[in-house]
Amino acid sequence: MGHVLVAPDKFKGSATAPEVAARLASGLRAGGAVAVELPVADGGDGTLDAAVAAGYRRVPVEVSGPTGACVRSAFALRDGTAVVELAAASGLVLLPDGPDPLGASSRGTGELIRAALDAGATRIVLGVGGSAGTDGGVGMLAALGARFLDAAGADLPHGGGALTQLTTVELEGLDARLAAVEIVLASDVDNPLSDAAAVYGPQKGATPADIAVLEHGLARLAEAVGPVAARLPGAGAAGGVGFAALAVLGARMRPGIEVVLDVVGFADALAGADLVVTGEGRLDAQTLHGKAPAGVAAAARRAGVPVVAVCGVRDLDDAQLRDAGFAAAHALTEWCPDEARCRAEPGPLLESIGRTLA
């Protein structure tokens, strides 16, 4: 029997990474293979699920959502390491009434970090993909005790739009426990803070006028907190949450998929595997730039284990796949040409592909 490590990311809008892994593994086992499920993520939404699937304990927390309304969230905890997923507190998926590019806040992410500190975490992995706002991380820092004031000495309202009124930053009230905690910023974004609004703002509903406001506010924040840190790779991640983590929390940045592979114990799970199966909803040019399947393929290739990709839709040719380290790829749309059906009912198709791989 072949030993197969099944390590996919989510099929966005269709199935979670644990669901994809379970269906592929079911097909592999039906075909006679030994399958080990190890869902992964790249630091964005799905990172929490991957940690829990790997044995971390899910700790439920109620926090402020991106517009301030209370949302049910969680972080993952094991042996002093907490995995905090920004998207689970301050993500686009949590906006109740559509985009809010000027008002969306990262405060809930800071509340998750504070809850992790309360639970005894000494190391925090902060995955920052999928953010709803561009507030430079001030919401996150405010939840941890910092203050951001206007000319009258009043606390700024939530959201990046208010940063144009920033006059004073007070960091003395930051939670003292942060000084003794290692914080790892898991991100596949290496842009500086100056790119946060122009490059990623449109994805969050920002108009050209909104972007101008946000850029003005982020420039004021950078001047007040740390102009040098604002130019660091990753400072522009998650609407500037990367900047706040690097400049104020002393975080160390690493590629998101590398961090997640460490968190879930990929290297140990890879030992003895004859094949790795990974994938995501769409294999395209973005896959090749820091997304989970490419990271899995690189890690497996270093260990001499072949990798097969499974996806919903494939936009990469054979040469691109080979260059990225994939031995082959299977798309659901190659089995069923109805893309809507593939998205709505991926399970049976994933099982069929698993049996074929076995």
Query: How would you write the pLDDT of the chain (358 residues) with one tens digit per residue?
Result: 689 999 999 999 899 999 999 999 999 999 999 999 999 999 988 999 999 999 999 999 999 999 999 999 999 999 999 999 999 999 999 998 899 999 999 999 999 999 999 999 999 999 998 999 999 999 999 999 999 999 999 999 999 999 999 999 999 999 999 999 999 999 988 899 999 999 999 999 999 999 999 999 999 999 999 999 999 999 999 999 999 999 999 999 999 999 999 999 999 999 989 999 999 999 998 888 878 999 999 999 999 999 999 999 999 999 999 999 999 999 999 999 999 999 999 999 999 999 999 9
Non-local (6+) Cβ contacts of 90 within 8 A are 65, 66, 104, 105, 106, 107, 108, 109, 131, 132, 133, 139, 140, 238, 241
Alpha-carbon distance 203 to 189, whole Å? 14
Helix (H) or strand (E) segment spanning residue 244: helix 241-247
Q: Shortest CA distance to 39 belongs to which of 189, 261, 301?
A: 261
Domains and their CATH numbers in the chain: 3-38+265-357 (3.40.50.10350), 47-256 (3.90.1510.10)
* DSSP 8-state secondary structure symbol assigned to residue 97: S
Cα 48 to Cα 30, 116, 236, 332: the distances in Å are 29, 13, 22, 26
- Report pLDDT for 109: 98
What are the CA-CA distances from residue 66 to residues 97, 164, 307 (Å)?
11, 19, 38
Asked if 7 contacts 307 with a C-beta cutoff of 8 angstroms, the reply is: no
pTM score, whole prediction: 0.93
Q: Please state, in angstroms and rounded to a whole number, the distance separating the CA atoms of residues 87 and 210.
A: 22
